[in-house]
Structures are given as C-alpha cells and as structure tokens.
A and B are shown apart, each in its own frame.
Chain A
Amino acid sequence: MRRFRLPPQILRLVLLTLGIVGTYLVARTLLVPQSFGEYGWYRGAALEEIASHTPVFAGKKACAECHTDVAQKLAHSEHQTLSCEACHGANREHALNHDVVPAKVPNSFCLRCHEANPSRPKWLKQIVVKEHYGEKCSDCHLPHQPSQSP
C-alpha cells in the first residue's frame, strides 16, 4: 500500500498556519482583560471605573442637612421644585468643608428663568424687565419665598 505523503508545500503551510493561529490564541489569553464578559461583551470593570468619578454637585438633600430652616421655607413656596445648587451653583466643596465659601448668586440670575420669552410655557411667571422693575429682584421678592417681600 502506498503511504500517503503530504506534499512539502502543504505541510509547511499547515505548520505555518498552526503557528499563526497558536500565536493568536496565546495573544488572546494575554490581552483580553480579565473582567471582559462579566456582564456582556465588555469589561465588567468599566462599570466601577465610570462610577468612580467624583460628583461635583452636592444635591438638595445635602444642603438641607445643615440649612434646614431655609429648606423648610423653600419647601412651602413656589420655588419648592428648585434645587439649591440651581441658583447657588455646585457646592459639594462647601458641603464637605464648611470653610469653603459658596459663590454669591448674581443679582440678575432670576432672569435666567423668569425673563419673558414666547417659547416658555404659560404656567411660568415671566416678566419683561423694562416693564417690571429695573433694580434688584430681591428688593421685592425673597428668593426662597418669592411671593413674599423682605
């Protein structure tokens, strides 16, 4: 019986192919991150990394922990849906370290929401500055209880 002899070209190519595929498989075990595939086709560790970013805003609850009286007044006013940091800016620094002084709210900040604009919904109280009052809004409106005067 004639022994089957693999032609040298084919043999070498098969060896070369096995070598390449073998290198690829070894590379895979080295280079695919360990947490890959934990939850799906991605690195499971990414969830932790993304969640590890430090927050910048403190959140209304954090402010209310110390400023309970203001929070109380606010909760019963028209501005109850506002978060403190909407006007006072991001203040996590201050919440963590009370020596950090929050920035002052600029006088014209009220206009950011209340300046009359036809695109704004009708339920919002809007004013045209020229027709309303030219000085500080807080002259007549308490910021935390806007329908009351100082």
Chain B
Amino acid sequence: MTTGLTNAVAEAIPTFQGYVYPNEATSHPVWSVLIVVYPYITGLVAGAFIMASLVRVFKVKALEPVYRFSLLTALAFLLCAPLPLLFHLGHPERCFEIMMTPHLTSPMAVFGFVYAWYLMAVLLLELWFDYRRDLAVWSRTATGFRGILYRLLTVGVMDVSEPAVKLDAKMAQILSIVGIPSAFLLHGYVGFIFGSIKANPWWGNPLMPIIFILSAMSSGIALCVFNYLVLTWIRRREVDMRCLDTMAMFLFYALLVDAAVETLDWLHRAFAAEEGFQVMQVMIREKLFYTLNVGQAVIGTLLPFLMLGSLQLLRRRVPELARRRMIFTSAFMILIGVLAMRWNVVMGGQLFSKTLRGVMSYKFEFTGGEGWLMGLFLIILPFIILTVLVKLFLSERLHASEPAAQGGGAV
C-alpha cells in the first residue's frame, strides 16, 4: 500500500546527523511552534504593560495618549496566552492539575498562579481602577449589550465623586508599581524554564530569564508603536509625534540593553568554548542560519538599531513623515526579530543532541495541532480581541475623562 511505503521511506530517511539518543530521533521536536509562540505572547504582554507603567510610575507624560491602549493590548494578548500551552499539552483536559497540585520545585508550576495573579490582581484591576469612572458614566447612557457590559464591569460601584476618583487613581498607581515585578515574573519565569535546564547547554544559563525579559520589553514597546500607528492610520487621525518620538526613544534603549546582554551571552559562550560549543556551531551554521543571522541579528537587531539610533542622534532634523516610517519599520522588524529569537531559543535547544555529537533534522507541519497555521492563528487572535476591546473601551464616540487617558491626538 502506498501509505505503508511512504511511511517506510520517511522512517528510512535519517532525521539526524552524527549521533543522537534514540529517543531524540523523532520527526517533530517535542516543543514546537506553540512553545515558540507562548513566550512571544507573554513577552508582548509584559513589554506593553511596562510601557504603560512608564506613565503612571515614572510620570512620563508624553506617553499618556497610549496609556490605555497599551493596557488593552496587554490584556488582549494575555487572554490568548494560555492557548498555545493548552493546545500543546498531551492531556489538556488535565490542565487544572497545575493549579490543584503545583509541584513547587518546577518553574512551570508557578504558571497557573502567576498568570491568575497577573490577569486578575494586576492587569484587570488596574484597568478597572483606571476605567471605573468612565464605565459608571457610560453605563448610564449606553444601551443594549454595551450598557449591560459597562454596568457589569462597574461591579455596582457607581460613585463618581471626587474622593472616589482620587482613590481609583491612587489604587491604579499602586497596582502599576506592583505590576512591574509581576510582569517580570510573568515573563521571567518562562525564561527560567529554559534557564533552569542544566541538561541543555543552549538553555541552561542564568542570563536566560534576563534576556527573555529584556527582549520582551523591546517587543512590547514595538508592539505598542505598531498598534498605535496602525490605529491612528485606520482612524485617519494625526499621530502625536511627541508620544511617538518618546516611544521610539524607549524602544531604542530597550533594544540596546537587550542586544548588549545577548551579545554578552554570545561572547561568553565563544570564550569559554565548552564541550557543547562545537555541536552548537554546526547547528547554527546548518539549522539556524536564517532565523539567527538574518532574522534575529540583522532584521531584528542591527537594522532597527541603526534606524532608531540615527533618530536619537538627529531627532527633529529628520522630517516627520520619514521619522514615522522609520519608527514603524523598526517596530515591525523588532517584532519579527523577537519572534525569531524565541524560535532560536526553543528550536536551538532541541536541534542538537544531548550527546553533544549530533544534530537533528526536524519536520514542521503546516496544518495540524502544532503547525505553522496554528501558530499564525494564535498570533493573529490577540489582534482580533484587541479590535473588540478598542471598539468597546477606546471608541472615539465615548468621551474619555482624566487623568491618564487624555492628550492631543489621543487614541
């Protein structure tokens, strides 16, 4: 039978070169596209949140126009974050076990609690305190589904007096402060999942959580830039250049620090040249050539660095349109580059064998539970949710109020 023959042929084709442990010679990696998408999404959440907290905690007034939008972006992506994990599990119906009997020696065990904490106690609460007054006002006039939604969301607290609003602002600020380490924990634990694996020299090193957090920040800010420009373009509004320039500045410095620490990792590996270094070089040359050198290094780091860096030097001397285009392109390239970085980390750790004398060849399917299409869908889904959130909470037909959501050309 033809299927039998094709299967036999497929198995006969070696899926590795050198020597790999027999259990490693599967045709697909154990942690595939979904596990690349998950840290990407939580990184975007953490980065977008940090950018929003720049407004409340560090009082960067120039970023006020994107404050609410950043928080809504973080929420849209956070809601989708558990999906790649759920789809990846061999037994998703047992996922509740991670919250019922979390094995606290495992970094993965904290997922349930960190996620729940971050979603409910940080992000939703901060959004609630920031929006509560507006929700109370909107619920009085809105009808139908929207009206019900706004009323529900006020949790019955309709007090819009001065002291109540002041309390809201104070609580939001406290949450913003609490949110910064929480965001670092939300994404840092993912970095630690890789960083804690001593069996794998590509992953197991203490810089991993730091690199993850720093690349998360640059990707999150890049996402906010990207979203802001797309939204103002859709709405045919004027871009607040002061806001955009400030975002570009933070994006540049986030990228700079991230690139510095990643370079440090590289330098140390090359200098120490431990036993795994040789097989890793083979892997980089043969398996990760495009995603690492082209995707992460050139597109993701070098080009945006040059563009954003030149903008920091030349500033207003560059005309506004050119600045917008450069910032948009840089943001988009950083988004691609950070996705490539997640790919390089996750796949890189699996493409070489723990025997340190073999390199695998994995197949990646297009369709199927862990295929490209699924990964693409999971990256696009948050944007769909964000559109809904923007329509409900950031619509221009609703009049937003102080304190943090106003400003010229505000979204």
Contacts and interface: CB of A to CB of B under 8 A. Distances in A.
A31 B100 contact: yes
B159 A36 contact: no
13 contacts: A7-B164, A8-B156, A9-B155, A9-B159, A9-B167, A13-B155, A16-B155, A20-B120, A27-B96, A27-B100, A28-B100, A32-B101, A36-B101
A12 B167 contact: no
6 closest A-B pairs by CB: A8-B157, A31-B100, A12-B155, A9-B157, A32-B100, A41-B103
Contacts of B25: none
Given A7-B164, A8-B157, A13 B125 contact: yes
Nearest to A11: B157
A24 interface: yes
Contact of B156 (A12, A27, A28, A36): A12
Nearest to A36: B101
Contacts of A16: 155
Interface string B136-170: 00000000000000000001110100001001100
Interface residues of B, number: 18
A12 B101 contact: no
B129 interface: yes
Contact of A12 (B97, B99, B157, B171): B157
A24 B100 CA distance: 8
B132 interface: yes
Instruction: Sort chain A's interface into a size bin.
Output: 10 to 19
Interface in B79-106: 96-97, 99-101, 103
Contacts of A12: 155-157
Contacts of A7: 164, 167
Contacts of A13: 125, 155
A36 to B, nearest CB: 6
Contacts of B167: 7, 9
A9 B129 contact: yes
Greatest chain A CB density within 10 A among B155, B159, B167 is at B155
Interface string A26-39: 01100110001000
Interface in A25-55: 27-28, 31-32, 36, 41
Greatest chain A CB density within 10 A among B100, B125, B159, B168 is at B100
A96 to B, nearest CB: 33
Nearest to A29: B100
B100 A8 contact: no
Nearest to A32: B100
B360 to A, nearest CB: 25
Contacts of B156: 8, 12
Contacts of B120: 20
Interface string B210-227: 000000000000000000
Contacts of B132: 9
A31 B157 contact: no
Contact of B168 (A9, A24, A28, A36): A9
A31 B125 CA distance: 28
A28 B112 CA distance: 14
Interface string A9-23: 100110010001000
B101 A41 contact: yes
Nearest to B104: A41
Contacts of B171: 9
Contacts of B96: 27, 31
A32 to B, nearest CB: 5
Given A7-B164, A28-B100, A32-B101, 17 more contacts: A7-B167, A8-B156, A8-B159, A9-B155, A9-B159, A9-B168, A9-B171, A12-B155, A12-B157, A13-B125, A13-B155, A20-B120, A27-B96, A31-B96, A32-B100, A41-B101, A41-B103
